[in-house]
Amino acid sequence: MPNRFEIDGEEVLDGEVKPFGNSAHVTVPKRWRGADVKVVRTSEPDGGENE
């Protein structure tokens, strides 16, 4: 059973983590620049590359 988190916020986006060099990233709208954000993983990684 997954953990449950409750976060007060302004807006929620669904997205996919994409490879980026030796890491990965999630793209958010430009209007979010300078904002504090939290990222929550909602599924297991697909087992692609090692960390």
**Rounded CA gap, 46 and 33, in Å?**
29
Position 50 in a domain = no
Average the pLDDT over 17-46 and give the result. 93
**Rounded CA gap, 35 and 18, in Å?**
21
Position 46 in a domain = no
Q: What is the pLDDT of residues 31-42, one digit of tens each?
A: 999 999 999 998
Position 48 in a domain = no
Position 49 in a domain = no
What's the whole-number average pLDDT of the chain? 89
Per the structure, the complete domain to which residue 28 belongs is given by 1-32
Q: Which residues contact 7 (CB under 8 A, 6 or more apart)?
A: 38, 40
Number of domains within the chain: 1
Residue 12, both tokens: 């929620």
Position 17 in a domain = yes
Residue 32 sits at φ, ψ, to 5 deg, of: -85, -5
Position 25 in a domain = yes
Q: What is the pTM of this model?
A: 0.67
